[in-house]
Amino acid sequence: MAESRDAHDDAPSTRQIHHGYVPPAGFAAVAPAMHRASTVLFKDVAAMRASSWLDKDTYTYGLHGTPTSFTLEARLATLEGGTHAMLVPSGLAAIALVDQSLLSSGDTVLIPSNAYFPNRSLATHELARWGIVHRFYDPMDVESLRAALGEDVRLVWIEPPGSVTLEFPDLRALVRAVRAHAPRAVVALDNTWGSGIAFDAFDLEPGATPALGVDLTIHALTKYPSGGADVMMGSVVTRSQALHDQLALSHCRLGLGVGPNDVELVLRGLQTVALRYAAQDASTRRIARWALGRKEFARVLHPATPGSPGHEHWAAQCRAAAGLVSLEFDPAYAPERVERFVDDLRLFGIGWSWAGPMSLAVPYRAATDRVSSTVYKGTVVRLSIGLEDVGDLIRDLEAALEKLGA
Ligand SMILES: *Cc1c(COP(=O)(O)O)cnc(C)c1O
């Protein structure tokens, strides 16, 4: 667009829009600037014709990226040890993008039987309608994965630890099994719990050459990176240019852009993610230790706690353990009584999601909801530990147990 030679002749309304704007080159604020755009201007028609919406590395249209979203993508790639990242409107949208981009009719996807429920439900409902086959495997039994692998398998999901019941799988053994028995399959890991902090998904065995790791991670930025319980976003991170390009093409065709205000919130949250993760991890360990001493619980499900399913795999792989602990009540307590216990909590909110400032509690009937080698007989209450004083949280749990009675 040429500078108007007769700008002073333009109407005030026109001059509001064509007002000279100089980006503040010498303005060194700590926070990155927030850029909004649908339209991005080209200097002439030739430049417009030469650009491609499918090129996610330049600016073409707000939907496909702004300096602000590219900044967040770069920081997320760093956090998770990848080289490329892309943003989508939610963690679930990241799972859906990976499925839709990598799978065709006739292909098979393998999903852990204890995976995040919407991941399973996407496969059983949407993917099935498109002729994509799914098989569930028990992530705590590598033989079960091996038996499910075959020529038709294009994508294998891994989720450490399992949703709700928090069994921690042997990540190295699962990845090795896929490499050995389905070399063409992509390994995708849901990194929401680990957040790039608890373990290195792209480097599961430090020093190994070639590196032992997954091909891509998805991350519900809704959880730790945001930290505020106030924004929905997801990401897909890889170390592979080819895989990133394939995902970027689908991302572009599907129109999965994110809004600049949300990007700004996640950029802000990311600066304190390691501190919040460590604080929530420490409080959760204290609550897990407290729970081990209470007779009401048959089992304390928390990967860093001895006796929790897969604790030894957690110990061999991880530096940290996030802010989730699930309490399996003694089966003597009927589900209705356990649900009343949740209602009686004062400081724990009742609601979905986790990793926010407020602690949350959700009861699950794990005995009927799981397909796993680990058997659950009692009602499970999953606690997401927030940023409250941990002594207050324990007093609140004790008061609600008091009402539960013997
Ligand atoms: C919350 C969550 C998701 C989905 O994230 P949303 O942003 O809520 O869509 C995916 N995987 C895991 C393990 C989660 O906990």
User: Is 45-270's fold the same as 273-405's?
Assistant: no
Rounded distance from Cα 237 to ligand 1 centre (Å): 15
Angle made by CA atoms 283, 306, 200, in degrees to the nearest 5: 70
Cβ-based neighbour number of residue 24 at 10 Å: 9
Atom nearest to 233 CA in ligand 1? 7
Mean pLDDT, rounded, of the chain = 93
Res. 76: pLDDT tops 90: yes
Lowest mean pLDDT: which of 42-56, 253-267, 287-301, 360-374? 360-374
Rounded distance from Cα 234 to ligand 1 centre (Å): 8
Rounded distance from Cα 95 to ligand 1 centre (Å): 9
More confident residue, 324 or 15: 324
Token pair in block for residue 290: 């407290």
Atom nearest to 221 CA in ligand 1? 7
Mutation pick for ligand 1 pocket among 192, 235, 354, 382 (CB with most ligand atoms within 8 Å): 192
Rounded distance from Cα 122 to ligand 1 centre (Å): 13
Q: What is the pLDDT of residue 147?
A: 97
Q: What is the pLDDT of residue 288?
A: 98
CB-based burial label for 47 (10 Å; 0-12, 13-18, 19+) = exposed
What is the domain partition of the chain in residue ranges?
A: 45-270, 273-405
Atom nearest to 115 CA in ligand 1? 13
Rounded distance from Cα 227 to ligand 1 centre (Å): 13
Tell me the mean pLDDT in the region 67-82: 94
Q: What is the pLDDT of residue 30?
A: 82
Q: Is any atom of ligand 1 closer than 6 Å to the C-beta of 66?
A: no
Tell me the mean pLDDT in the region 160-171: 96
Atom nearest to 163 CA in ligand 1? 13
Q: Which fold has domain 273-405?
A: Aspartate Aminotransferase, domain 1 (3.90.1150)
Q: What is the pLDDT of residue 394?
A: 97
Q: Is any atom of ligand 1 closer than 6 Å to the C-beta of 217?
A: no
pLDDT tens digits for range 178-211 = 999 999 999 999 999 999 999 999 999 999 988 9
Identify whether 161 is preceded by a cis peptide bond (ω within 30 of 0).
Answer: yes
Q: What is the pLDDT of residue 23?
A: 66
Q: Is any atom of ligand 1 closer than 6 Å to the C-beta of 114?
A: no
Rounded distance from Cα 116 to ligand 1 centre (Å): 7
Q: What is the pLDDT of residue 364?
A: 92
Res. 370: pLDDT tops 90: no
Q: Is any atom of ligand 1 closer than 6 Å to the C-beta of 157?
A: no
Q: Is any atom of ligand 1 closer than 6 Å to the C-beta of 235?
A: no
Q: Is any atom of ligand 1 closer than 6 Å to the C-beta of 283?
A: no
Q: What is the pLDDT of residue 4?
A: 47
Q: What is the pLDDT of residue 308?
A: 97
Tell me the mean pLDDT in the region 320-331: 97
- Decide: 284 and 380 in contact? Cβ < 8 Å: no
Q: What is the pLDDT of residue 53?
A: 75
Token pair in block for residue 178: 């896929």
Q: Is any atom of ligand 1 closer than 6 Å to the C-beta of 90?
A: yes
Say which amino acid occupies 26.
G
More confident residue, 20 or 120: 120
Length of the chain: 406
CATH number for 45-270 (one of 3.40.640.10, 3.20.20.70, 3.40.50.1100, 3.50.50.60): it is 3.40.640.10
Identify whether 357 is preceded by a cis peptide bond (ω within 30 of 0).
Answer: no
373 — pLDDT class (breaks 50, 70, 90): low
Rounded distance from Cα 157 to ligand 1 centre (Å): 14
- Decide: 41 and 1 in contact? Cβ < 8 Å: yes
Rounded distance from Cα 49 to ligand 1 centre (Å): 39
Mutation pick for ligand 1 pocket among 168, 222, 235, 360 (CB with most ligand atoms within 8 Å): 222
- Decide: 199 and 171 in contact? Cβ < 8 Å: yes
Tell me the mean pLDDT in the region 134-156: 97
Q: Is any atom of ligand 1 closer than 6 Å to the C-beta of 163?
A: yes
Nearest to 306 by CA among 290, 322, 288: 288
Res. 2: pLDDT tops 90: no
177 — pLDDT class (breaks 50, 70, 90): very high
Closest protein CA for atom 8 of ligand 1: 91
Closest protein CA for atom 15 of ligand 1: 192
Atom nearest to 234 CA in ligand 1? 7
Q: What is the pLDDT of residue 28?
A: 80
pLDDT tens digits for range 251-275 = 999 999 999 999 999 999 999 999 9
pLDDT tens digits for range 12-70 = 777 776 776 676 788 888 888 899 999 999 999 999 999 987 776 789 999 999 999 99
Closest protein CA for atom 3 of ligand 1: 91
User: CB within 8 A of 221, min separation 6: which ones?
Assistant: 76, 87, 91, 231, 233, 234, 235, 266
